[in-house]
Amino acid sequence: MRENDVILQTVSKIAVFIILTFGVYLFLAGHHHPGGGFIGGLTLSSAFVLLYLSFDVETVNAGIPLDYRKLAATGVLISVCTGMGSLLFGSAFLSQTFAYFNLPLFGKTELATVVLFEAGVALGVIGVVVTIITSISGEV
């Protein structure tokens, strides 16, 4: 994609992990704090974009063997299917529910079905954004 740039590559190796961690945090925090599926997904995909910017496409694809189009499709499928899931329990399409559990190590924890939905959203966003960027830059 571009000629080797040692400084950029070294920095991004570290930065990518920070961004990835931050992205996952944002995704999980979304229920009670700023964050959520969209932002998490966008942040995670920006980490991938950074990788593509600093290394060439082949290297990244070898390191992360993911088909982003399938990832996007999976995400959309998950979002739609969690909606269907609520139908099984006799409630309206896409109704979410939540409950509190006492888990070892975490103590009282809230688990919500919306996480599954948001996970679908996040995967969809990552898949689409990376697909767009790589398909355009693949044209160079």
Partner 1 sequence: METIIILLVGVLVSVATYLLLSKNVIRVVLGTALLSHAVHLLLLTMGGLKRGSVPILGDQPETYTDALPQALILTAIVISFAVTAFFLVLVFRTYQQTNTDNLHELKGADNE
Partner 2 sequence: MTLIHYLILMPILAAAFIPLLGVGAPKLHLGWGAITVPILLFSFFVSYVPAIASGDVFSASVAWMQALDLHFAIHLDGLSLIFTLLITGIGSLVVLYSIFYMSKERESLAHFYAYLLLFMGAMLGVVLSDNLMVLYLFWELTSVSSFLLIAFWFRRKNSRYGAQKSFLITVGGGISMLVGFIMLHVMSGTNSIQEIIAMRDTLHEHSLFVPALVLILIGAFTKSAQFPFHIWLPDAMEAPTPVSAYLHSATMVKAGLFLVARFTPVFGGEATWFWLVSGVGIFTMFWGSFSAVKQKDLKALLAYSTISQLGLIMSLFGLGSAALQGGASTESVLYTKAIFAALFHLVNHSTFKGALFMIVGIVDHEVGTRDLRKLGGLIAFMPVTFSLAVISSFSMAGLPPFNGFLSKEMFFTAVLNANQMTLFSMETWGLLFPIVAWIGSVFTFAYSMILVFRTFLGPYRREKLEKTPHEAPIGMLISPIILCGLIVLVFFMPNQLSHYLLSPAMNSILPTYANMDGLIPHISAWHGFNLELLMTIGVAVIGAVAVKTLRYWYLVYDFFPEHRSIDSGYRWMLSAGERLSHQATSRYMTGFLRHYLYYIYGFLLLITGGTLLLSGSIIIDPSGDAPVAVYEVIIVLVMAAAAIGIPFTKSRMTAALLNGVLGYSIAIFFVLFRAPDLALTQLVVETVTTVLFLLCFHHLPEWSREERSLKVRLPKLLVSIGMGALTVLIALSVQGNRLFDSISSYFEDSYDLAGGRNIVNSILGDFRAFDTMLEVVVLFIAGIGVYTLVTLKAPKGEDERERE
Smallest separation, CB 7 to partner 2 (Å)? 19
Instruction: Report the DSSP beta bridge partners of residue 58.
Output: none
Amino acid at 43: T
In 30-113, where does DSSP find H-type helix? 37-54, 57-63, 68-88
**Do the Cβ atoms of 11 and 89 come closer than 8 Å?**
no
**Do the Cβ atoms of 19 and 46 come closer than 8 Å?**
yes
Instruction: Determine, following the binding rule CB under 8 A, whether residue 65 of this chain makes contact with partner 1.
Output: no
- Compute the half-sphere exposure of residue 24: CA atoms within 13 Å on the CB side of its CA: 5
Footprint (CB under 8 A) of partner 2, residues 70-89: 72-73, 75-76, 79-80, 83
Instruction: Determine, following the binding rule CB under 8 A, whether residue 107 of this chain makes contact with partner 1.
Output: no
Instruction: Determine, following the binding rule CB under 8 A, whether residue 55 of this chain makes contact with partner 2.
Output: no
**Do the Cβ atoms of 81 and 124 come closer than 8 Å?**
no
Instruction: Determine, following the binding rule CB under 8 A, whether residue 33 of this chain makes contact with partner 1.
Output: yes
Contacts with partner 1, residue ranges (CB under 8 A)? 32-34, 38, 125, 128, 132, 135-136, 139
Residues in touch with partner 2 (CB under 8 A)? 26, 30-39, 42-43, 45-46, 49, 53, 69, 72-73, 75-76, 79-80, 83, 93-94, 96, 98, 110, 112, 114, 117-118, 120-121, 124-125, 127-129, 131-133, 135-140
